[in-house]
Amino acid sequence: MNILPKKRWHVRTKDNIARVRRDEANAAEEEKEKQRKIQLAEQEARTDVLRNQARSKVESGENGICTIVKTTTEVTLIEKPKHVNFFTDVEDGKKSFGTNAEHKEERKQEKEKYEKSIGLLTYLGQSSIDNKEQIGRAHV
């Protein structure tokens, strides 16, 4: 006896499946509408704040560096952006351009190592045979 499909409350009947899909679609539509209203309210609030700021009185200071903004609730001090100069010490002559000491030392060591390996560089009292023996010991 298979009477379950004939019951009205059965989950797998076509009518119940269609009703569930319809209810889910309605719920999704309502949620989308709710989110749209929330975004609209936030946008209106932001626009209102910006309009109030634009309408507020703006007075500039004597030196032109800062601005005093007066609103109905508070007074804020806003500094105007200044030019950023990264080369003030160079322009004032405090820093001179020199050579890189570390780079010079590395180049000197590389040159000395190369000259020793080809036998060009020998120290006072050192023969070329002694030099080759030292190089051989250094490579081992």
CB of 139 within 8 A of CB of 130? Answer: no
What pairs with residue 70 in β-bridges?
A: 57, 75
**pLDDT at position 120, please?**
76
Instruction: Please give the structure tokens belonging to residue 4.
Output: 């379950």
Place of tokens 């190089």: 135
Q: Please state, in angstroms and rounded to a whole number, the distance separating the CA atoms of residues 97 and 100.
A: 9
pLDDT in tens, 44-96: 999 998 888 887 755 444 444 555 555 555 556 666 678 888 888 778 877 66
Residue 58's nearest CA partner among 45, 67, 47 is 67
Q: Please state, in angstroms and rounded to a whole number, the distance separating the CA atoms of residues 127 and 133.
A: 10
Instruction: Please give the structure tokens belonging to residue 91.
Output: 């322009």
| Residue 106 to residues 110, 116, 137, Cα–Cα distance (Å) | 6, 15, 22
**pLDDT at position 12, please?**
80
pLDDT in tens, 92-121: 877 666 778 899 999 999 998 898 888 777
